[in-house]
Amino acid sequence: MKRSSLIFACAVTAAALPLSVRAQSVNVIVNGQPMSFAVAPMVRAGRVFVPLRGIFERLGASVVYSNGQINATATGRSISLSIGSTQATVDGQPQTIDVAPFIVGATTFVPLRFISQALGASVNWNDSTSTVTIQGGAPPAAAPPPHAVRFVSVSPTGTVYNPTPVLRFAFDRPVRVEGCRVWIDGRNVTLGLQQVGPASFTVTAPVPLGYGSHRVRVTGITAGGASFELFWTFVRG
């Protein structure tokens, strides 16, 4: 009898738990792709929360989390939230969210709808399947253009004791000799430039260099027509 009463009491207590603390199975689909989380999404006060890591990246944003402050940036957009606070900013404008971000164990949870809409996405909730469908978001950052040319070797580096050192440099692809220009500390020394290989050059400092750091600047055009500007430094000891 006592055991039955205990089971009944536990059942009543569980039924009385508010929705905000009950575990619920929530599916999240972003741009047609289901998301999987190491820690399952949670529902608090009727709002779906997801782990911080993963959702921002999937929506095209980068995120920095430090000392309870969440800062996310995407192309033309920025979001800032704080753990335990309903105050947020979107693109520098103050916003109030229904439920604050929170931490459970070692996982930080953020409000899915707010994050998604702040990043320009549309959000739909299907109650019958407990599914959040998100479309859009910030476009991914454009990939940097491929480099025009790189140094494969430069000399001197570190400390050199010759006051008029010979500068040697080689590129990873052919360049147009007639378009190549060299400066040392802003002084044009191209007049002494010599080509010693398909993509290798030398030039001697025309005047003694003073003690300290010196900067070499090389500009030109690759054989394919792309402009470039490269630098390196060394020290005159």
List pLDDT tens digits, range 120-150.
Answer: 889 999 989 999 999 987 555 555 556 789 9
**Local structure of residue 76 (DSSP, 8 states):** T
* Torsions phi, psi for 203 (to 5 deg): -155, 140
For residue 218, being part of any structural domain is answered with: yes
Q: What is the pLDDT of residue 142?
A: 53
User: Rounded to an integer, what distance in angstroms lies between the CA atom of residue 190 and that of residue 205?
Assistant: 10
Q: Residues, the chain, total?
A: 237
Q: Which domain holds residue 180?
A: 151-236
- How far apart, in whole angstroms, are the C-alpha atoms of residue 110 and residue 101? 5
**64 and 87 belong to one structural domain:** yes
Cβ density class 41-65: b for 16+ within 10 Å, e for less: bbbbeebbbbbbebbbebbbbebeb
pTM value is 0.51
The identity of residue 152, as a single letter, is V
User: How much is the pLDDT for 181?
Assistant: 93
Cβ-proximal residues to 48 (8 Å cutoff; 6+ apart), any chain: 26, 28, 41, 42, 111, 112, 113, 125, 132
Segment 22-81, tens digit of pLDDT: 445 899 999 888 998 888 999 999 899 999 877 888 888 888 888 889 988 887 788 999
User: Which of 22-26, 124-128, 200-204, 210-214 is least confident?
Assistant: 22-26
Give, in order, the Cα–Cα distances in Å from 49 to each of 52, 100, 203.
Answer: 9, 10, 62
Token pair belonging to 74:
């995407």
Do 114 and 165 belong to one domain? no
Of 53 and 217, more confident: 217
Are residues 158 and 131 both part of a single domain? Answer: no
What's the domain count of the chain? Answer: 2
In a domain, 199, yes or no: yes
CATH code (residue 71) = 3.30.457.10
